[in-house]
Structures are given as structure tokens and as C-alpha cells.
């Protein structure tokens, strides 16, 4: 089913446009984002507040004023959320934790131990659980990159 004109969809799209703009061109002020994106200042402020609440964006100092108050600059925060990437080959399984800019925070390489088919999937699930438990412990045993 195609969603058109749905308010939530429009808000998600605006938020995505704003996040991408901050990620690529930041730090930027809210007014600069509004000018570049042709979105209203209210729309930008609402979306930015959501992005700050989700810890995807943070306020980073002030910019130069063209009269009036100095603008607050917004910057992408790639280190507040992490993703896990997995690579499987015939002989090894590599699992890495990365920030939102794909910078590796930690990485481990495991042997496939000759597992194939469904056995490699259940083995992989065990490795993922082990990896997550280790990275969530203070001073984990994994090699921090």
C-alpha cells in the first residue's frame, strides 16, 4: 500500500532530509537548515528537537550572528548509537560494532568451525549473543579499534 500525504510520512521525510543535511554539511544552524531545505522554521525546530531527543544530533556552540542572537549550531552525533555488521566467508565470521559513520569500535573474527547450512546460522546466533554480551560489559574482552 502506497502512503501519500500521510502526516507521519511527511514528518519522517523532513526529519530524514534535515538529518542528512546536518550529517553532510554540519555544523549548521536551524535557520540555515530552513533556508537550504525550504522548510518552515517551525518544521525545522520540531524535527531538530526530535533528532536531539533521539541523540542523533547535538548542539555544538554558537555561530556568527548577522544581527540579533548568535545561532546555535547543530552537529551529527554518530557515537550515540551503534550497529553490528557481520561478514561470513567459508572459513571465518567477522563481527564488528560500528558507529553511525561505519567507524569500527570493536571487531572479532571467529572460525566457522566447518559449520554449513542451518548449523552455521545457529552458530552465528550464538556468536552474536556472545559478542553483544561482551561489548556490553565494562572493560570487555574484545579488541577495541
- Contact predicate 131/109, CB 8 Å: no
Q: What is the pLDDT of residue 98?
A: 95
pTM of the model: 0.74
Q: What is the pLDDT of residue 66?
A: 77
Place of cell 545561532: 71
Give the pLDDT of the chain (145 residues) as one tens digit per residue: 455 568 889 999 999 999 999 999 989 999 999 999 999 999 999 999 999 999 999 999 888 887 788 889 999 999 999 999 999 998 999 999 999 999 999 999 999 988 888 899 999 999 999 999 988 876 545 444 4
Q: What is the pLDDT of residue 84?
A: 94
- Contact predicate 95/84, CB 8 Å: yes
Q: What is the pLDDT of residue 5?
A: 62
Q: What is the pLDDT of residue 137?
A: 75
Q: What is the pLDDT of residue 145?
A: 44
- The strands making up 143-144's β-sheet, listed across from edge to edge, are 82-88, 92-99, 104-111, 143-144
Amino acid at each position: 500500500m502506497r502512503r501519500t500525504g500521510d502526516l507521519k510520512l511527511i514528518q519522517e521525510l523532513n526529519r530524514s532530509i534535515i538529518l542528512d543535511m546536518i550529517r553532510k554539511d554540519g555544523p549548521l544552524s536551524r535557520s540555515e537548515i530552513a533556508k537550504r531545505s525550504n522548510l518552515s522554521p517551525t518544521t525545522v525546530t520540531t524535527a531538530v528537537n526530535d533528532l536531539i531527543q533521539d541523540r542523533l544530533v547535538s548542539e555544538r556552540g554558537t555561530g556568527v550572528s548577522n544581527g540579533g542572537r548568535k545561532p546555535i549550531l547543530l552537529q551529527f552525533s554518530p557515537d550515540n548509537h551503534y550497529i553490528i555488521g557481520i561478514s561470513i566467508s567459508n572459513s571465518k565470521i567477522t563481527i564488528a560494532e560500528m558507529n553511525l559513520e561505519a567507524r569500527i569500535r570493536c571487531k572479532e573474527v571467529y572460525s566457522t568451525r566447518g559449520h554449513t547450512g542451518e548449523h552455521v546460522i545457529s552458530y552465528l546466533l550464538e556468536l552474536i549473543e556472545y559478542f553483544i554480551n561482551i561489548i556490553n560489559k565494562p572493560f570487555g574482552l574484545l579488541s577495541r579499534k
